[in-house]
Structure 1
Amino acid sequence: MKKITVENLVRRFSLKVVAGENQLQKVITQSRVHRPGLEFVGHFDFFPTERVQILGKKEITYLNKISEEERKIRIGNIVQYHPPCFILTAGEDLTYLTHHCNEQGIPLLMTKQPETTSDFITRLDAYLMKELAPEIAVHGVCVNVSGIGILLRGNSGVGKSETAHTLIRRGHRLVADDIVVLKKLSPQTILGTHDEKTKEFLALRSIGLLNVVRIYGRRAFQDESRIALDIHLTKWQKDDLNNELDQKPQYIEYMGVKVPSLEIQLQPGRDVAGLIEAAANNWYLRQQGYSAAEEFMSRIEADISGSSNQ
């Protein structure tokens, strides 16, 4: 199981450490946060104790209104479950909460910049979801073509990186070369990214390692992209090309998520980058409900129907 620490949150979101400074290595394993509301009034049947606990204006207002004795009981009932940490977004340094957290060894953090609780939760949930998502590494190249994430696969030396270079020169973006990290964000979503070491780098045979940002500018690189298409680049096989008007949908699975897949054969002089652009645009049109093959067949049927009525 993947995990991050409370210290990772402190650095990523520039949080102030109010209590539990020696407990910042506590592990976070859940990808969503929780606002304890029912728990403050005694309902713990569904308390997600392994989640980061967020205290916003509503929670703090409630705690400030009740008596000191009752507040001690309410907070004590929660801290005994030892969640990874508490984060205050209401801009108040609460002495009574600091005492409980120090006593139980729970980090208490606070946002430094003014921000609504809902906005902070949205940012934090997104970060945790990406960081804790199941992931695998595959050999290939990831590019973003006209806003569409594409995973290029194929045997070593087939021309994946060279094809990506051509796409970059046409205004598209590199995401990762050689090693592509795939993250499962949901049952329908796979995110492609790099492994940090290869960030912005593209390796071309006979040329060497290129930094695409230094050569082509910031727009040549994108940190991550949702994978919409999987394209397998293969060597040219003359008798193996499929010339049907409408290709039957093919899929490949990554961590249980199905991704549309197709094969493109390479041959000297063949505009493979152009074919990839066409595949990306055709995928987009299909998402809008349009099929060129269906329109073509409807024209044929209309022509046949017109001829038979004459």
Structure 2
Amino acid sequence: MTDSKTSVTVEELINNARLKILQGAEYIDRPIVTGNICRPALPFAGYFTHYPAERIQLLGITENAFADEVDHEKLAEYCERMCCEETPCFVITSDLPILPELKVAAAKANIPILGTHLTSSRAIGNMSAYLWSQLTPRESVHGVLVDINGTGVMLTGDSGVGKSETALELIRRGHRLVADDRVEVYARDERDLVGSAPAILKHMMEIRGIGIIDVMTLFGTGAVLDEDEVDLIIHLESWSPDKKFDRLGHRGDTRTIQDIAVPQISLPVKSGRNLAIIIESAAMNFRAQNMGYDATTTFDNNLHQLIKQNSKGN
């Protein structure tokens, strides 16, 4: 199941990207439909063939300096052409003043002008991070996402296998819940997958026999996290003597979500196993592997060394 938000408002951008309103406060309900941001140097030179009118138009030191060299009448014309119906807003960085020609054109077209003390690079970083997090397509995955010592672990498996109960034990052991039952994931970039809970399920868990519990109310704010990277997937499977499970960690299984391959481990669920401790250990071992230590490799090396020594002895 895939879902995505088609737009955010200029007001939402203001509240999440450290921006202030310089002009047009009554028009901040305008929609933003893309996370791409334009620095309109070419329009100030009169080139509009590929002008991306639907993007936020950002003016920094370079754009203002270039505009100062343009004839007043031409600049007024260019600013009017930049103020299209689909243009969401203008952003002025580095506490620069608004160009008089832009001030008039934006007011005429009902387009707000925002400002920030940040440099253009930092402002673009803040706005892009927020916009892409909101506008990137999301996929709903059945599972539980828990942060274990800084590693985002998503528990998957059939209904009733014990995902929520195991996550609850992990929370009691000091780890943090991100989402229960449904995890909404999106690709932050080509490598990182991020998960969060749907708004209606935020901080909530369903425990069979008890019902819905509010984790933040019961365990405190330190027991929850709004979103987290999905670093590792642990798939819980009912134990069967006919099924072979990886015992040495050689398989290197992955699951692809949003075109990102996430490492996956399959764990057999059997009466008497303390899954919380096993999952906690799996997360710690995964982190150790990412830091360059692989216990499986060490075991293989020790085994080969032992075989070599025995061969020499014979």
The alignment's TM-score, normalised by the length of structure 2, stands at 0.87
Paired residue for 2:201?
Answer: 198
**DSSP 3-state at the match of 1:183:** strand
Q: Which amino acid aligns with 1:4?
A: V
> Displacement of 1:220 after TM fit?
0.9
Residues paired across the two proteins, number:
308
Contact 2:79 2:101 in 1 (8 A): no
Gaps in structure 2 of 5+ consecutive residues: none
User: How far did residue 248 of structure 1 move?
Assistant: 0.7
The question of whether the paired residues in 1 share the 8 Å contact of 2:41 and 2:66 is answered with: no
CA deviations over 1:191-238 (Å, ceiling 9, x no partner): 100112211122222233222222222221111111111122122223
Identity of aligned pairs, percent? 34
**Counterpart secondary structure, 1:75:** helix
Please tell me whether the aligned partners of residues 33 and 54 of structure 2 are also in contact (alpha carbons under 8 angstroms): yes
- What is the 5 A alignment of 1:38-117? 38-44=42-48, 47-79=51-83, 82-91=86-95, 92-111=97-116, 114-117=117-120
Question: For the structure 1 residues 288 and 44, does the alpha-carbon distance in structure 2 shift closer, same or farther, using more than 3 Å as the test?
Answer: farther
Alignment partner, residue 284 of structure 2: 281
Paired residues of 1:201 and 1:210 also in contact (CA < 8 A): yes
Does the residue aligned with 2:201 lie in a helix, a strand or coil? coil
Q: How does 1:1-310 map onto structure 2 within 5 Å?
A: 2-13=6-17, 15-21=19-25, 23-44=27-48, 47-79=51-83, 82-91=86-95, 92-111=97-116, 114-310=117-313
Cα root mean square deviation, aligned: 2.4
* 1:23 positional shift: 4.3
Distance 1:237 1:307, change over 3 A: closer
- Alpha-carbon displacement from aligned partner over 1:90-117 (angstroms, at most 9, x marks no partner): 4324442121112234332233xx3333
Change (3 A) 1:278 1:47: farther
- Quickly say closer, same or farther: Cα 1:100–1:205, change in 2 above 3 A: same
SS across alignment from 1:157: coil
Offset of 1:125 from its aligned partner? 0.8
What's the TM-score, normalizing by structure 1? 0.88
Q: Work out whether residues 43 and 82 of structure 2, in 8 Å CA contact, stay in contact via their aligned partners in 1.
A: yes
What letter matches 1:99 in structure 2? Answer: V
Distance 1:190 1:128 in 2: 16
* Deviation string, structure 1 residues 264-297 (Cα, Å, up to 9, x no partner): 1222321111111122122223323432222112
The structure-2 alpha-carbon separation of the partners of 1:147 and 1:28, relative to structure 1 and needing over 3 Å to count, comes to same
Q: Check 1:284–1:141 CA distance in 2 against 1; reply closer, same or farther (3 A cut).
A: same
Moved more, 227-236 or 40-49: 40-49
CA contact (8 A) 2:132 2:188 kept: yes
C-alpha contact (below 8 Å) 1:31/1:132 kept by paired residues: yes
Shift of 1:45: 5.5
1:3 to partner: Cα distance: 1.9
3-state SS in 2 of match to 1:231:
strand
How far 1:13 moved relative to its partner?
Answer: 4.0
Deviation at 1:80, TM superposition (A): 5.0
The change in CA–CA distance for 1:203 and 1:122 in structure 2 (over 3 A counts) is same
Which of 292-301 and 157-166 deviates more? 292-301
Is 71-80 or 152-161 further displaced after alignment? Answer: 71-80
Shift of 1:145: 1.0
Which SS does the other structure have where 1:309 is aligned? helix
2-structure distance, mates of 1:150, 1:134: 21
Residues 172-207 of structure 1 show CA distances to partners (whole Å, capped at 9, x for unaligned) of 110011221111222322210011221112222223
SS in 2 for 1:268: coil
